Amino acid sequence: MKIILIGAPGSGKGTQAKYLTEKYHIPQIATGDLLRAAVAAQTPLGRQAKTIMDAGQLVPNDIVIGMIRERIARPDADQGFVLDGFPRNIAQAEALDNILDKLGKPIDAVLQFDVDAEMLIQRMIGRLTCISCGALFNLFTQPPAIDDKCDECGGTLHHRTDDSETIIERRLHIFETLTQPLSDYYKHKGVLHILEAHGDVTEVTKRVKSALRGLRPKRTPVKPMLAPVTPLPKSAKPAVTHTRIETPQPKIRPRKKIKTLSGNTTVKKLEIKKELPEVIRKKSIKAAARKKTAAAKSAALTEELDRELDEKLKDLEKELQQTRAQLKEASDAEKALIKAEKEKDTALKKALHEETAKLKKEKK
């Protein structure tokens, strides 16, 4: 199932995305996560994105689309995916359609979450995220049992620095001007489902179930492509089929019986020409030559395949080493990020509690 979630920041896309990934056993793909992972792993696209983000600019469409293309091509996305936060504009939507058309996997459904602006601001100001497992909480609608502690894993909860009222209003304005036209785009394609995202999580999940009930994954024919050569272990050799060439046996005509005649009749003996052995000899030579030629071709093909497999295995080993190095770098970067977030949390706790107390007083 290929699903796109669109909606303003704080509309509940992330929460429903987790439900959909568990229901259909498909990955959640968020551009923010892809960018952070690519930057941490220092991939070519990640290095380009980091340079642009360090300059305070938005990451261009071609870089974001390149990351999405790479992520969709992974094996865990063969049965579908949930796109959270992408596409954000018509240009990205058209580029995504081109990618999926080539793969023969068109979008099955687009879920749009509608919430009024006041509720969005309240949700985002009170939003808390677990650093360890990513679980979401809210001081107003879904508070944790213990302050600053995750109910799921006991990890530390933190408040995002960009969840301030000024930044939220700017993000909502960007959504209205750029992302909202996607609603008309997907409505024209007949895959849009508009959901009321107010109420608790269970109510919104019921609306999501109702929207997707009866849908079947769509597929379109894919242009024929050459099948990739599957790498084999070094010890394994390609199977070679040997064809046995049977030497045709010529038909031997029976000798004619010579009738014995009485009297002085002279009987002329039949002369049998020695052509039969010559025919057999020539055909045997041709069959042996064909067999030898086939064996030589098979040996040459086997040798060539062995050489190609050795080269591919060497390339795979190099890629594996590079991947391991990138994973180590990503792990180190993640540890550094967690350490930095913990330091930020200490500074934000005091401000968050003061803001909470202020809001509660205003409500009273």
Phi first, then psi, for residue 248 (nearest 5°) are -65, 135
pLDDT at 76: 92
**316 burial via Cβ count (<10 Å: 0-12, 13-18, 19+):** exposed
Q: What's the CA angle centered on 34, arms 178 and 80, to 5 degrees?
A: 85
Taking each helix axis from N to C end, the angle separating 165-174 and 117-125, rounded to the nearest 10 degrees, works out to 130
pLDDT at 276: 44
pLDDT at 35: 84
pLDDT in tens, 146-195: 878 899 898 988 877 656 667 767 777 777 777 778 889 999 999 999 99
- Under a CB-based contact definition with an 8 Å cutoff, are residues 356 and 139 in contact? yes
Phi first, then psi, for residue 152 (nearest 5°) are -80, -50
Which residues have CB under 8 Å from 77's CB, separation 6+? 26, 27, 29, 71
Name the catalytic one among 149, 171, 218, 291.
Answer: 171
DSSP structure class, residue 138: E
Name the catalytic one among 88, 105, 123, 207.
Answer: 88
CATH number of 2-126+163-225: 3.40.50.300
Number of residues that make up the chain: 364
Question: For residue 285, is pLDDT > 80?
Answer: no
More confident residue, 363 or 193: 193
State the average pLDDT over residues 188-212: 91
Name the catalytic one among 18, 23, 69, 160.
Answer: 160
Name the catalytic one among 2, 71, 105, 127.
Answer: 127
pLDDT at 243: 44
β-strand pairing of 192-196 with 109-114 = parallel
pLDDT at 177: 78
Q: Is 324 a catalytic residue?
A: no
* Alpha carbon distance 359, 364 (integer Å): 9
Q: Is 47 a catalytic residue?
A: no
pLDDT in tens, 106-137: 999 999 998 877 777 777 777 788 888 888 88
* Alpha carbon distance 27, 4 (integer Å): 12
In terms of Cα–Cα distance, which of 116, 109, 120, 50 is closest to 83? 109
Question: For residue 259, is pLDDT > 70?
Answer: no
Question: For residue 273, is pLDDT > 80?
Answer: no
Q: Is 170 a catalytic residue?
A: no
Instruction: Report the mean per-residue pLDDT for the chain.
Output: 76
pLDDT in tens, 5-56: 998 877 888 889 999 999 999 999 988 888 888 888 888 888 888 887 777 6
First-to-last alpha carbon distance for the chain, in angstroms, is 46
Q: Is 160 a catalytic residue?
A: yes
Full-model pTM: 0.52
